[in-house]
Amino acid sequence: MIWLTWRQHRKQAFFTLLGFAALAALMVPIGLSMRHTFADLGLAECVRQLSDPDVAAATRDSCDAGFRRFTNQYGSLNLVAVLLITLPVLVGLFWGAPLVAREVEHGTHRFVWTQGVGRTRWTLVKFGLVGAAVVALAVCYGLGMSWWVDPLTHAAREGRLGVIVFDLQGVVPIGYTLFAVALGIFTGTVWKRMLPAMGITLAGFIGVRAAVAILARPHYQPARTLTFPIEGTAEPLTERGDWILSMGIRNADGTMVAADTRIMCPPGGKGPDGRACGAELGLGPGAYNWQLYQPAGRFWLFQGIETGIFVALAALLLYLAVRRIRRIA
């Protein structure tokens, strides 16, 4: 069975490895260039210094300037990162969806599933071998992307918890890839032609990924709240890399007056018309700045939770696929 599975999928394996090699040939020089620039600007030392809550203001300003220079030079690579997050679903489309659908579409399942080896055993062996290959690919992809995107995440204000960069690195690519392949296999047992199965896999993957990222991820842990007055000499220092979910200015009774903004007025400051600072926004006495955020230190916790969600979904889909295969005529 192992030999036959290899014979059936060796072309897919060859073209997949060829694609990874081409991707590495493109991304490695860019990654090395980013790392050299990151080191030349002294940003590695800045990352260490900014982790100290008592860092001097001059050091913070100097580091922020260095991060802005790095972002100006390499910020456009975030668009490349958007393209890279599609790789797991491509594995699902070209490895998962054809696994069963192609056999049924070509009618070869009647020959394969009527041999001495039962269809359940055959299915489990095939799923296991393909799954092991996919996990190996996903681990290489996750490690490679973590290395490549590391300077960009340090330069970004939201750090590793930011949208897109969170999806690219760590262990979540393993969960995404397994889920994509399992979804492709399951849809192949329901829609027994390859193209419909691939289309449903693509739509289902995008829908589930978007729902988890938008609706679930911000709530894996209770978010923290930061408040500070609108008058003062300096804003409170927050850790670089915190994921800010929402912010605004609230009145003393907690009513949101101005969303997605903050103000910092000098003590006793007045507007051009002599009114109190912030009066033009309709702020009353006791108004304050408000911020809802997830701390940067929760990165690996969130990675573990999201990976667990997608691995569990993949296991459920594979279980349902095995049950359906038993009933295919």
DSSP per-residue string spanning 208-221: HHHHIIIIIGGGSS
Q: Which among 205, 178, 204, 216 has a CA at the least distance from the CA of 306? A: 216
Q: What is the mean pLDDT of residues 254-273?
A: 79
Residues 6+ apart with CB under 8 A from 308: 175
The residue assigned the tokens 């590793």 is 160
Q: Which two tokens stand for residue 297?
A: 């230190």
Question: How many C-beta atoms surround the C-beta of residue 295 within 10 A?
Answer: 16
Radius of gyration of the chain (CA): 26
Mean pLDDT (the chain, rounded): 84
User: What pLDDT sits at residue 213?
Assistant: 93
Q: Are 229 and 288 in contact (CB under 8 A)?
A: yes
Question: pLDDT, tens digit, for every residue of 51-63?
Answer: 776 777 778 788 8
Q: Which two tokens stand for residue 180?
A: 């994509």
> How far is residue 239 from each of residues 31, 137, 141, 216, measured CA to CA in Å?
26, 34, 29, 23
CA atoms within 13 A on the CB side of 30: 19
267 class by beta-carbon count within 10 Å (0-12 exposed, 13-18 middle, 19+ buried):
exposed
Q: pLDDT-derived band of residue 202, with 50, 70 and 90 as boundaries?
A: very high
Asked which of 35-39, 135-139, 204-208, 274-278 is least confident by mean pLDDT, the reply is 274-278
Pairwise CA distance, residues 326 & 321, whole Å: 9
Question: pLDDT, tens digit, for every residue of 89-103?
Answer: 888 888 888 888 887
Q: What is the mean pLDDT of residues 8-37?
A: 87
Q: Residue 31 above 70 pLDDT? A: yes
Question: pLDDT, tens digit, for every residue of 290-319?
Answer: 999 999 889 999 999 999 999 999 999 999
For the four alpha carbons of 161, 164, 166 and 167, in that order, the dihedral sign comes to positive
User: What pLDDT sits at residue 234?
Assistant: 66
Q: Residue 282 above 90 pLDDT? A: no
Q: Are 96 and 181 in contact (CB under 8 A)?
A: yes
User: What pLDDT sits at residue 223?
Assistant: 94
Q: Parallel, antiparallel, or unpaired: how do β-strands 288-294 and 243-250 relate?
A: antiparallel
Q: Residue 236 above 70 pLDDT? A: no
Angle at 87 between CA 162 and CA 139, to 5 degrees: 80
Characterize 87-103 residue by residue with b for buried, 16 or more Cβ atoms within 10 angstroms of its Cβ, and e for exposed: bbbebbbbbbbbbbbbb
Q: pLDDT-derived band of residue 15, with 50, 70 and 90 as boundaries?
A: confident
Q: Residue 114 above 80 pLDDT? A: no
For the four alpha carbons of 204, 182, 95 and 29, in that order, the dihedral sign comes to positive
Pairwise CA distance, residues 242 & 292, whole Å: 10
User: What pLDDT sits at residue 326?
Assistant: 80
Q: Residue 212 above 90 pLDDT? A: yes
Q: pLDDT-derived band of residue 209, with 50, 70 and 90 as boundaries?
A: very high
For the four alpha carbons of 187, 188, 192 and 193, in that order, the dihedral sign comes to positive
Q: Residue 232 above 80 pLDDT? A: no
User: Is the backbone of residue 236 left (phi > 0), alpha (psi -120 to 50) or beta?
Assistant: beta
For the four alpha carbons of 99, 105, 106 and 111, in that order, the dihedral sign comes to positive
Asked which of 134-148, 158-172, 181-195, 235-249 is least confident by mean pLDDT, the reply is 235-249
Q: What is the mean pLDDT of residues 27-38?
A: 90
The residue assigned the tokens 């790392």 is 35
Q: Are 206 and 223 in contact (CB under 8 A)?
A: no
